[in-house]
Amino acid sequence: MWLFLAFVAVPLIEIALFIQVGGLIGLWPTLAIVVLTAIVGTWLVRSQGAAVMNNLRGSFNRLEDPSEPLAHGAMILLAGALLLTPGFFTDAVGFALLTPAFRSAAFHFLKKRVKVQRFEMGGQAGRAGPGADPRRGPHPSGPQAGPRPGPRPGPRPTAGSGDVIEGEFREVEPPKQPTHRPSGWTKH
């Protein structure tokens, strides 16, 4: 329901603001402001995006929780999309999202309302527990272990047999179906 209201309300707000601002300063200055905010916004998104990427790399290197740098990166990405969208309301929200203090406040506001069920960083490399399969390498076992890629359960291959199945194939093309009646000019 909120998404529907946003898709209805935001264009109406933008149209009203375009009419008001265009009536005050004229058509060409209004369009110039829209283009200028897109250019300045793109430059700010690039510079702040690079800084957030450095923070994200640093949190990975220090093995810290990367949720805040990831959230900042997502908000900067959203800010870029809003700044490239023509309009004054979307530009105001986009510039607000480019402010680090606003992003931090938004992150802490959302952090109180979102509950993380499970978060893992890194692998269990080098630790072979009771659930380790020597063919697939060490992995955790128990209720917290997620699905792992690899062979599906079934009969195990015997010694000397491989996973290669030899065979021949022939590619069969479906017959071409005309989309209209023959006109006499072409042959189908």
pLDDT at res. 21: 92
Q: Chunk the chain into consecutive blocks of 10 residues (it has 188) and report each block's average pLDDT, rounded to whole numbers.
A: 88 92 91 91 88 88 85 91 90 92 92 77 49 46 48 53 76 76 61
Query: Does residue 167 sit within a domain?
Result: no
Question: Which among 83, 85, 89, 118 has a CA at the least distance from the CA of 13?
Answer: 89
For the record, the structure tokens of 33 come out as 């402001």
Q: How many domains are contained in the chain? A: 1
Segments forming the whole domain that contains residue 70 = 9-113
Query: Does residue 55 sit within a domain?
Result: yes
pLDDT at res. 95: 92
Query: Does residue 148 sit within a domain?
Result: no
Query: Does residue 139 sit within a domain?
Result: no
Query: Does residue 138 sit within a domain?
Result: no
pLDDT at res. 39: 92
Query: Does residue 134 sit within a domain?
Result: no
Question: Which among 53, 94, 48, 88 has a CA at the least distance from the CA of 70?
Answer: 53
What's the pTM value of the predicted model, to 2 decimals?
0.57
